[in-house]
Structure 1
Amino acid sequence: MEHPDQPALEMTHLLPTHRSLRLAVVTETYPPEVNGVAVTVARLIEGLLLRGHEIDLVRPRQALRGPQGTAVEGLQELLMRGMPIPRYPQLRMGLPAKAALVSQWQRRRPDLVHVATEGPLGWSAVQAARKLRLPVSADFRTNFHAYSRHYGLGWLNKTILTYLRKFHNRADLTLVPTETLRKELAAMGFERLSVVGRGVDTQRFDPALRSPLVRARWGVAVDDPVVLYVGRLAAEKNLDLLIRAYQAMKQRRKSLRLVVIGEGPMADDLANQCPDALLLGVQGGLELAQSYASADIFLFPSRTETYGNVTAEALASGLAVVAFDYAAARELIINGHNGWTSGLQDEEGFVRRACEVLEAWHPGHPMRMNARRTMLSRDWSGIVEQMEERWRTLTAATQQLRTHDGKLGVMKTS
């Protein structure tokens, strides 16, 4: 029988230890799958391993042929059953697995369970952690309640929001990437929220990787501006606005080229509506980094992000970014310095900003290095250290509570 939640414990004056932690990290997506969550979780795990922690990674078996799993010191993987995600058959969603997780964590008990995604596997992990009286943290990663509007499921908004609130309020700690999002979620009844930003690999994403060969393959001359979009080609990304902005910019600069990196159900629609765009599909590694650095202006019309890793990657690569004033853009962009933002509902303003950036653009524009400098202080190592600090405090609070009355309740972090 699962224990009832106990009164919250204020986590103050707790001195975290510095021993290595055994952390169970549960995620429904992981490389080589290509999306922001997979990349972020992989960077987190890489940083934790470098700091000497042991990681038990729980994820669905991917829709890939051949052997799976990795041989990395300090990392063990538990591959679970999954099913294809509608409209994204290359991705898989984990199936409920509470009994398997309870059994696994009884044999190899972690100090803490961290749940990165809010799907069925993530929910099972929260339940299993509660049953075993393990401290549990969670990431608020994706605005599923916002996405539902783009797939004819707006009537499910309340149900999805209720599920997300229940999911996260069963955790001892929910990590969010911005203060703005923390306030929004707190107003909707989410509890025990803590802000930890997102990092960017500034060694990988670098203006120095700008490549004349890449630009030649794109069919653009040295002085021709290139507009770049990186992300899923899906309704929730507001791609109609991307096309409108590009077409308005094209009227002002005929040599402008649109390069699109990503895949998704709207790829054919995008190609039909914008036949002169160059759709490159999915890229990764050096190829992606060179594409970022070889472009000039980054358009990001999405209004459904919790953060938007691509905004940070574009800035680190020296691109002038045009986005809406929220999520990563609100945190990172200084208008006229490294890019431009418009009000969240101001699509005409977005188009206008895009045209203004283009009119001011030239190959040596200072906005390029300003964008780069913005990101140099946001390396992943500092983000991982912040996560570790939160978890050490949480595990210390758990131990104190057990010592006090032998029971584990949901704990406050602020």
Structure 2
Amino acid sequence: MCMKGKAEQNSSLTQTEKLLPPRCNRILIYTTCYNVIDGVTLTVRKIEQEILSSGGHVAILTTRSGNDANTHRHGTHPNRQVIFVDNSIPIPFQDTYEIGFSLSAKIKEEIKDFRPSIIHMTVPDCTALYLMEHARAEEIPLMGTHHSNLPEYLDHYPGLRWLQHILGQYFRHSYNYLQALYCTTPYMRTYLTDTYKLHRVTQLGIWGRGIDLDRFSPVHRCAEFRAARLGVTDPDTAVICFCGRLVIEKRPDIFARVIQRLHKENVSFRALVIGAGPRQDVVKRLPNTTCIGWLDADELAVAYASADVFLFPSAVETFGNVTLEAAASGLPLVVEEACSGHLVTHNYNGYGCAADDVEAFYQATLSLVTNASKRKEYALNSRRASCQYEQKMIVRQMLANYTKVYDDFYSKYEGRHCKRDDAYKNAESFCGGMHPRPSSLSMIEFVFCKTFTLIWFLLGIVGWWKDQLQCCCRNQNASNVTTDAAVEEEQLVRIEEYSDTTDMMNGQRGKSKHLGDSECALYAAKVFVQTILFVWRLESRVWMALAHFLSFVKEKLPVGRTRDANRMQMQEDPKIV
């Protein structure tokens, strides 16, 4: 049984209170898009609820992106506040997402008024560097959690691979100032160690994700939902579920090809797509497929439990929250083996498939769709495997992490960031100098800010013209009579065009004709990064030399006297040295 008795819950509450003692019960969490409901913000909301239930105080620092109604989605609390940064810009290619670029004096005052005992970073953007500077000046412990492998996302956008090395080194520079960084899985810790050598710049820990096992459960399976929303009345008809943002890096193209092939081979099934995004128009054209957009938590639990197979080919997940939700709801899993492999045991509760291997995803899905007894067996195994990720147990571990970071900061590092820096000084750390925000970074931030703003403006114009053209085409074709076969053929052609385009983006990167993906562009990016890091190191040394000089001058001044008083006395008596 996954449910706990009342006595055990009371015991757990006592344990929670001990995990977050009064000395470190004021937590400031910085996350980019709090009002956009996704895996990161849902995780943050789980943490803040546990902090509040333990009697602690929490402040969320975030941008204004997303739906304002989500700010107090779980109600208000006297120990909780949300602080919105006043300088952010939209991220191109990512609807509703924004990144912050600075902290104003007003926001810094709000942070000071909150009096955080520890600061938790969830994203290493420009605002995070400002926040790091503030934390270091006030000697507040700093830690972070790793949620998204953003440089890897650029593999899926033609012409942007040159940014990978730049972002990777920028994030490495940011993580260098964190006392601890918690990864989602052992696989991600190994990846960050091998790729970026992050173990040389900060302490790498592991903190997984939790699931509400009562909310996401097979008991919520609903025949009425299947009939009303999906048109499925036969209990033996398998429903294939996909849940997530419909963006290219989540690989909806693989999902589309599997669904298309099942349809061509006359396999009995129904597909359910939960989510939205730039690729939703293509997914909506898939045969036997229902797209229902985003759902609230209760509806989502019913949708999961009413499906039969979870097909999720995304190769950019750091943990796989939706995969865990599906497993807890009793669904066999067909997922990418590296990113979500920790949640699936091959031939036990599903299948782990190699990235980009459409055939493997198809065969795994086919074997489950056409075998009801295997689906039932794997469904029970998925539920059993998910019980180890009980939400409260996992979230309480983060409270224990807060206490450990806080205690280590004052016991091991004497409450000073410079002491922590000394412990991590080596040939591969602080490649950009000892200051989180070098002065030259301000110029780079300004250029990127203006570039992103221009790109976003141009994309808006292109999108508007595209909508106008589509509207004209619909009006012109309104009087034409088209057979069902012709409509289906047109849909399949468009899906094939989308899949071919995605193949070019994902599977044939070496053959890309985009200048930004060429070897010359990648080499130029590396040279640019090394040049910038050299400038930052030089600037850091200049500031350190200046600080030593000022310290020396201060030591020479008579103790207990102000500089102005000494200057006046020296003017009155030139003999004073």
Q: 1:55-76, CA deviations, whole angstroms, 9 ceiling, x for partnerless residues?
A: 1111122444679555213212
Q: How many residues align?
A: 396
CA contact (8 A) 2:139 2:417 kept: no
After superposition, residues 207-222 of structure 1 pair within 5 angstroms as 207-217=218-228, 218-221=230-233, 222=235
1:71 and 2:79 matched = no
Name the SS of the counterpart of 1:71 in structure 2.
coil
More helix by share: 2
Name the SS of the counterpart of 1:377 in structure 2.
helix
Change in CA separation of 1:233 and 1:281 when aligned onto 2, cut-off 3 Å: same
Separation in structure 2 between the aligned mates of residue 362 and residue 252 of structure 1, nearest angstrom: 21
Separation in structure 2 between the aligned mates of residue 231 and residue 67 of structure 1, nearest angstrom: 18
Q: 1:178-208, CA deviations, whole angstroms, 9 ceiling, x for partnerless residues?
A: 0011011112221311001111111111111
1:325 and 2:337 matched = yes
CA contact (8 A) 1:114 1:136 kept: yes
Counterpart amino acid of residue 166 in structure 1? H
After superposition, residues 259-298 of structure 1 pair within 5 angstroms as 259-272=272-285, 274-298=286-310
Separation in structure 2 between the aligned mates of residue 403 and residue 136 of structure 1, nearest angstrom: 14
After superposition, residues 353-368 of structure 1 pair within 5 angstroms as 353-362=364-373, 365-368=376-379
Task: Note the C-alpha offset of 1:400.
Answer: 2.0
Aligned to 2:98: 92
Change in CA separation of 1:410 and 1:380 when aligned onto 2, cut-off 3 Å: farther
Name the SS of the counterpart of 2:81 in structure 1.
strand
- From 85, 103, 110, the equivalent of 1:80 is 85
- From 224, 229, 232, the equivalent of 2:242 is 229
- From 30, 33, 52, the equivalent of 2:34 is 30
1:158 and 2:171 matched = no
Task: Note the C-alpha offset of 1:101.
Answer: 4.8
Task: Note the C-alpha offset of 1:83.
Answer: 3.1
Task: Note the C-alpha offset of 1:98.
Answer: 6.1
Q: Percent identity among equivalent residues? A: 27
1:174 and 2:181 matched = yes
CA contact (8 A) 2:259 2:287 kept: no
1:379 and 2:385 matched = no
CA contact (8 A) 2:308 2:375 kept: no
CA contact (8 A) 2:269 2:369 kept: no
Name the SS of the counterpart of 1:409 in structure 2.
helix
Separation in structure 2 between the aligned mates of residue 234 and residue 407 of structure 1, nearest angstrom: 42
Change in CA separation of 1:237 and 1:89 when aligned onto 2, cut-off 3 Å: closer
1:299 and 2:311 matched = yes
Counterpart amino acid of residue 276 in structure 1? N
Separation in structure 1 between the aligned mates of residue 422 and residue 59 of structure 2, nearest angstrom: 23
Separation in structure 2 between the aligned mates of residue 278 and residue 203 of structure 1, nearest angstrom: 26
Change in CA separation of 1:317 and 1:169 when aligned onto 2, cut-off 3 Å: same
**TM-score using structure 1 length:** 0.88
Aligned to 2:51: 48
Counterpart amino acid of residue 190 in structure 1? L
Separation in structure 2 between the aligned mates of residue 395 and residue 305 of structure 1, nearest angstrom: 29
Aligned to 2:133: 127
Separation in structure 2 between the aligned mates of residue 133 and residue 64 of structure 1, nearest angstrom: 34
Separation in structure 2 between the aligned mates of residue 401 and residue 278 of structure 1, nearest angstrom: 56
More strand by share: 1
- Provide the aligned C-alpha RMSD in A: 2.5
Separation in structure 2 between the aligned mates of residue 17 and residue 386 of structure 1, nearest angstrom: 10
Change in CA separation of 1:349 and 1:66 when aligned onto 2, cut-off 3 Å: closer
1:136 and 2:136 matched = no
Counterpart amino acid of residue 225 in structure 1? A
Aligned to 2:190: 183
Separation in structure 2 between the aligned mates of residue 53 and residue 403 of structure 1, nearest angstrom: 24
Separation in structure 2 between the aligned mates of residue 55 and residue 316 of structure 1, nearest angstrom: 29
Change in CA separation of 1:148 and 1:396 when aligned onto 2, cut-off 3 Å: same
Q: 1:356-399, CA deviations, whole angstroms, 9 ceiling, x for partnerless residues?
A: 22232359712212111111221121112211222211111211
The farther-off stretch of 119-128 and 207-216 is: 119-128
Name the SS of the counterpart of 1:28 in structure 2.
coil
Q: 1:208-251, CA deviations, whole angstroms, 9 ceiling, x for partnerless residues?
A: 11111110021112221100000010110111111122233335
Aligned to 1:4: none
Separation in structure 1 between the aligned mates of residue 135 and residue 19 of structure 2, nearest angstrom: 21
Name the SS of the counterpart of 2:51 in structure 1.
helix
- From 307, 320, 323, the equivalent of 1:308 is 320
Counterpart amino acid of residue 307 in structure 2? A
CA contact (8 A) 1:401 1:407 kept: no
**TM-score using structure 2 length:** 0.64
Instruction: Select the structure of larger CA radius of gyration.
Output: 2
Change in CA separation of 1:278 and 1:389 when aligned onto 2, cut-off 3 Å: same
Task: Note the C-alpha offset of 1:350.
Answer: 2.1
